Structure 1
Amino acid sequence: MASRFVQYIRGDQNAPGERKLVQKLDFFILTFCCLMYFLNYLDRTNLNNAYVSGMKEELKFHGNQLNQINTVFTVGYTIGQVPCNIALYYIKPRYFFPGCMVIWAGLTMATAGARSPGGIMAIRFFQAIFEASTFVGTHYILGSWYTEKELGKRSGIFTASGLAGTMIGGFIQTGIHSSMDGLSGLSGWRWLFIIDGIITLTVAVYGFFLFPDTPRNTKAPYLSAEEKALAISRVPEVSERTPISWSFLRHCFSTWYWYFFVVLWIIAGETESFSSNALLALYMKAHRGKKYTVTQLNNYPTGVPAVGIVSTLFWATLTDFMGGKRYLVGYWIGITGVVTSALILAYPNNTSVHFGAYYWAGSVYACQATFFAWANDVLRYEEDSLRAVVIASMNMGSNAVNAWWSILFYGANFAPQFTRGMWAMIAVSIAMAVWTALLVWMHVRSERKREVTNAATYDAGKEKDFAGTGEKEAGDGGFDEKV
């Protein structure tokens, strides 16, 4: 077992040159995608950091305006999901990803000049449309290059980079607030958005020159002709059709993949509500018995994504090692959501219990890597265009629900208890376990049908070959008798 695990960590590529190819892919694909996602989350979550670091008072936020801005962002993000992944089918990723980054970097810096919550709301809507390319687009790219045994670990590393952006954002805001607040007449939270945008632009340039696109259209100078051919041979060859056609849409909505994975991620997205809505920071800000400093408000919640990073890498690696049993994470999420919510409801005035529950709830972030790797695994033998649309639709469906879910159950005005949200979390956590079991059943059923079809095709091919050989032998026999 130990030697098998070491082999897994090192990689079990067997074809000549395959290990070297995967190392190159890891360096150029993962470095760019992880940096892109890190900055994506940094730009996105720093709104919450800015909110508790002076933006609320300076721009005179009131009521649920922060949640409304996040909802508008979610709407833009939802709108951008499927179009962005379809765009990757027509536009090379090394042009599309950096182009989106340049636009959202400019919008991030524009946030520094906002004078009202309404101005930020307008900026965030358009920023979200272009940031929508990152998450689902990267999962589509990872599924295009990596095998089933390699995918979970890479998806985990990618997802962890986004959580790192969430975690580090608090420390960056703390540093900027203490050293740059008031510099050139700008508040520290404004400098935060300016610096984020500048960093994003540099990563976009890196991606433009070195991102390898997909195996069938790559022109990366660091890949030899043999490595390009090997990359194509590592993934199944599937039939293809354009994603913009009625026949494709009918095909997409006639499969079980779209419905089951979209519902899976809708439920999973709401099990992340404690973290995605920054409930710990809002709990601290509205705490009735203690006043937290700006440094504490920014630093203490970083423990949530830290737990998420550890959990993501653990489950992504474990499910890879266990042969792709991604469904195990669904059951873990079910347990976590029920227990943490019950603890908060049972001990409404215990600060330690609340902190512990919110930190533990950060472990549900593991579903991001494992569930999208699961979708890539199941759709590996389907068309690339179908895989791209299903992956994008998963995130689109989740964000469409989250646009109103967060206001209904986790509005800032519900702090510090969020009682309604706790009961909602218990409900979706139970639904998560049930739906995971149903999806496993559908997957097993589908695989059995595929095996039967493949076996029938193989037998038919053997019979055809045998018939052809028999005719030849009979002809040969007749010739001998004639002679």
Structure 2
Amino acid sequence: MSAPVARSAPNSLDLKDGLDGNVEVEENAQHDEYLQHYSLIKDKSPEELKAIEKSLVRKLDWKFLPMVSMMIIMNYLDRINVSNARLAGMQQDLHMSDTVWSAGISMFYVGYIITQIPANVIMAKGQPRFLLPGCMLAWSAVTICMPAVRSGWAFCLCRFLVGLTEGPFIPAVSLMTSSWYTKNESPLRMGIWHAGTTISQAISGLLAAGILTNMDNVASLHAWQWFLLLEGIVSVLIGIFAFWFIPNFPNNTGTYFLTAEEAEMAAYRQMVSAGGISEDDEGDYWGGVWMMFKDPFSHLFALIHFALIIAQSYKDFFPNIVATLGFNKIITYLIQAPPPVIAFIATLVVSWHSGRVLEHGYHIIGPIVLAAIGCVVMITTLNVGARYFSMILLVTGPFVGLNLHIAWETTVIPRPRTKRAALIAYANCVSSVSHWFTPYFFLTNQEPYYQTAGGAIITGCGLTVIFVLITKWYCRKRNKALEEAERAAGLPKGWRFAG
């Protein structure tokens, strides 16, 4: 099954404090059928439950969320740092052709795909507290080694190793977020850490302005070598601190992070959000993988993700796209910052509204249509103002869509945890295949318009709209079947697939 069908807790009372009414707790907590599974909190009054939940969410919002957001920023910086390094002369210094450079960009995603499904399934039954920081330290070590490369093949090898070590990270953070936050809370929280990828674009541009223009030939190193080295060192430091700020799962996190009552509240919230099925996992490692492959939703979400990544294929070449505006290097580095900052704000606003009304599809379609319009402008005019505005739309649409897509898939397929973990990784793997061919569309001989790349981005936007509409239709179809089954059995309205 894709999701549980269960009766909702009746006579619910919204917990307004800290959660905006996202979790339902029965007015008389002693008779809540779900609450009876949790001995430490089942006899608590509604006021006591509110206090425990408020404390739990506060710890998640001020410990887990900021830490994974910082890790995401560094993750993405280490992924895209070669874009600004290229602008600073890395490709020329290593005597690489456009084809070899694009091969290096693609090799990252070869490694990225290999580790995702097995690593995320292992993460679902393991201890993310150690595994997530471990991944970060591994990719940081490779990044620190990159300034030593002297040839195209060494560049390709390093990019492969960075992808191999980064592969488990984003799916694992998605899994963790969906295991701690409810389906109404997840879009905004995922928006916060996922928007770290947009912020990292801004930071990358600012760092490039400071490092790449001032550190050339310092200690006989090129500026791009300093750029990679310093980013890697900062990433190592954050990875070390992360061991104290990352929990495991609600059922196996120790008191270093939560009290025992808060841990039970976390498990209870997840049970309510999933319609009465416990988050505690079931079966073996690969049972969830097989369940995922048999579910049509898995392939629909993978197609949406694939299309969204094609729409976002500009990101490895964003500094080069901005350079076509004709400004000098320092200004080019600096004006990379506003588009991702605007995208960050838009992601938070749209994600908040999506979680509040529990609708995902149309919240994805709106921004992605604007991104397609922006791309049309980019490939048809050299007007600086119009092109820069188009770049804002180009950055915003796919980032909003990707964030809501992850929240949507983890809401539709909540249990068991290994199935959800496999789905997140599978969709990410399928989407990453696009990186094997999209880098070849951004060729220097097509500057400043990049018509071929622009056509691919517009195609990705169009496919996103089509696949989202198909998925919404399938949600309605499945919900109609649930309604008919409840009516036949005389049951009240229960869990539904969120569209």
TM-score scaled to structure 2, two decimals? 0.83
- 1:9/1:418 CA distance change after superposition, 3 Å: farther
Residue in 2 that maps onto 1:149: 184
Alignment of 1:391-410 (within 5 A): 391-407=424-440, 409-410=441-442
Unaligned stretches of 5+ in structure 1?
A: 1-5, 461-483
The alignment status of 1:191 with 2:226, answered yes or no, reads yes
- 1:45/1:392 CA distance change after superposition, 3 Å: same
Residue in 2 that maps onto 1:481: none
Cα displacement (A) at 1:278: 2.4
What is the rounded CA distance, in whole Å, between the counterparts of 2:62 and 2:457 in structure 1? 38
Deviations 1:298-327 (A, max 9, x none): 222223322321221121112112x22111
Residue in 1 that maps onto 2:120: 85
Select which of 455, 460, 465 maps to 1:423. Answer: 455
Letter in 2 for 1:397: V
Letter in 2 for 1:211: I
Aligned residues of 1:153 and 1:320 also touching (Cα < 8 A):
yes
What is the rounded CA distance, in whole Å, between the counterparts of 2:464 and 2:163 in structure 1? 27
Alignment of 1:8-407 (within 5 A): 11-12=20-21, 15-16=49-50, 17-236=52-271, 237-238=277-278, 240-242=281-283, 244-245=285-286, 248-274=288-314, 276-279=315-318, 281-285=319-323, 290=326, 292-321=327-356, 323-347=357-381, 349-364=382-397, 365-380=399-414, 382-407=415-440
Cα displacement (A) at 1:452: 4.3
Flag as ranges the 4+ runs of structure 1 deviating above 6 A: none
Cα displacement (A) at 1:151: 0.8
What is the rounded CA distance, in whole Å, between the counterparts of 1:455 and 1:23 in structure 2? 40
Aligned residues of 1:32 and 1:211 also touching (Cα < 8 A):
yes
What is the rounded CA distance, in whole Å, between the counterparts of 1:249 and 1:109 in structure 2? 35
Letter in 2 for 1:450: L
- 1:8/1:432 CA distance change after superposition, 3 Å: farther
Sequence identity percentage: 21
Cα displacement (A) at 1:420: 1.8
Deviates more, 1:410-419 or 1:123-132: 410-419
Bigger radius of gyration: 1
What is the rounded CA distance, in whole Å, between the counterparts of 2:322 and 2:202 in structure 1? 16
Aligned residues: 445
- 1:140/1:458 CA distance change after superposition, 3 Å: farther
Unaligned stretches of 5+ in structure 2?
A: 1-14, 26-48, 272-276, 493-499
What is the rounded CA distance, in whole Å, between the counterparts of 2:213 and 2:458 in structure 1? 40
Aligned residues of 1:64 and 1:413 also touching (Cα < 8 A):
no
Letter in 2 for 1:424: A
What is the rounded CA distance, in whole Å, between the counterparts of 2:366 and 2:235 in structure 1? 35
Provide the secondary structure at the position in 1 that maps to 2:185: helix
Provide the secondary structure at the position in 2 that maps to 1:277: helix
Aligned residues of 1:212 and 1:218 also touching (Cα < 8 A):
yes
Letter in 1 for 2:299: Y
User: What is the alpha-carbon root mean square deviation over aligned residues?
Assistant: 2.4
- 1:193/1:10 CA distance change after superposition, 3 Å: same
What is the rounded CA distance, in whole Å, between the counterparts of 1:458 and 1:383 in structure 2? 27
- 1:134/1:30 CA distance change after superposition, 3 Å: same
What is the rounded CA distance, in whole Å, between the counterparts of 2:16 and 2:206 in structure 1? 37
What is the rounded CA distance, in whole Å, between the counterparts of 2:16 and 2:220 in structure 1? 56
What is the rounded CA distance, in whole Å, between the counterparts of 2:282 and 2:355 in structure 1? 30
Residue in 2 that maps onto 1:480: none
